Amino acid sequence: MTLEGKAAGIRDRILDRVRSGLYAPGCRMPNDRDLSRDLCVSRATLGKALRQLQQEGILTRRVGCGTFVTGSAGERVSGTRLQTIGLVSRMANTPWAMQALEGMHEALDALHCDIVWKTSNGDPDTKKGLVQSLAKREADAFVVFTAYPYYSSEGAAFYEELSRRVPVILTDSVLYANVTCVTPDAIDAGRLAAECLLEKAPSNGTFWVLRSEFMNSSFHERVLGYVDRLRAAGVGQVLELTCGPGSEDQRATQIAGFLDQHGLPDGMFLLKDDWPKLLQAALKGRRKRLQDLNVCCSDNWSNAPSIYGVPYVELPFVDTGREIARRLLRMKMEPALPPLSIRLKPRLIREPALDRA
């Protein structure tokens, strides 16, 4: 590639940073040495790119002071800068929502972008109303932590129409219509749990998945990945057992009933991370300890898997938030980007350590 071609590419990358607000109007740019190192280019290529941006009125050099973003640069690129993100979720205190928001804040920290967060009771119409009210407040991008399209074709159409006007990202596990989705890969999480259990159990054994009565689409996909991986390994019997509502003692009694009816399984996938405690209670009087069973949990929000030494699958919620922020910035700068389904890979924690923070 010629020097001119390389310089044009670097010019575009710097301009993207100005558009995103990373280099705001009036701010001083990093010095040439640091900027060339950051962009992995020679000083000669960087100098040519900076001169192009000066000629376009985006940058100005002040002798003895450095290079600055001009005030007029804001007017030139203001239409591509994220200013307010409308965020709608079911509840504010779920670990998933808090970790994803942490990732978004981290990625947007230097951009002075506001996040207006609204919560609903999970009702689709309430969420829709919150999004509409945020649109009236001139939010220029939306993130919806929701399984709404999973339950409603009308919901898919609503978000698709909104995405034609502003960037929209859903965190539902399935890409619907023409709306971008960013989510942890729940199907892969189920596969990892199955592989963990298969390491210690015969493929002709009996495997359980212990679930609660209500499951959103993410949990359904974990079960799908789990069962698919076990079937691929030739497992003949996979039992999907449901714990109904009730107190801890009542649920432990339900699990004890499953053990009486079906016997001890060769592998067990717990979809609720606080259930190792219930399983241990259900084992009382059976001359078995939790540590004697082959168990894997779907996450570690409560620290119960760490306390009981149970392997678990860690979903990348903070990374999901970072990716949401990065994708929103790019969608704002490039409105013609096609919608994508972006799934972030989970990881298996075989030997959990207790988080004492």
Long-range (24+ apart) CB contacts under 8 A made by 240-243 are 240/208, 240/209, 240/211, 241/208, 241/209, 241/210, 241/211, 242/211, 242/212, 242/213, 243/210, 243/211, 243/212, 243/213, 243/272, 243/275
Give the range of the structural domain holding residue 35, as residue numbers without chain letter: 3-78
Q: What SS3 class is residue 50?
A: helix
How would you label 15-27 residue by residue, b for 16+ Cβ within 10 Å and e otherwise?
bbbbbbbbbbbee
Domain check: are 48 and 112 in the same one?
no
Q: How many domains does the chain have?
A: 3
Residue 312, beta-bridge partner list: 297, 349
The answer on 308 and 220 residing in a single domain is yes
Is the backbone of residue 354 left (phi > 0), alpha (psi -120 to 50) or beta? beta
Do 305 and 330 lie in one domain? The reply is no
Per-residue pLDDT of the chain (357 residues; tens, 9 = 90+): 565 678 888 888 888 788 767 787 778 888 898 899 888 899 999 999 998 888 878 888 887 788 888 865 555 555 556 788 999 887 766 788 889 999 998 888 766 788 888 887 666 677 778 888 888 777 889 998 865 444 566 667 888 888 888 899 988 755 456 789 899 999 999 999 999 999 998 878 899 999 988 777 788 899 999 999 999 999 988 999 999 888 999 999 999 999 999 999 999 999 988 899 999 999 988 888 888 899 999 988 888 898 889 999 999 999 999 999 888 988 887 777 888 889 999 999 998 865 433
> CATH no. for residue 99?
3.40.50.2300
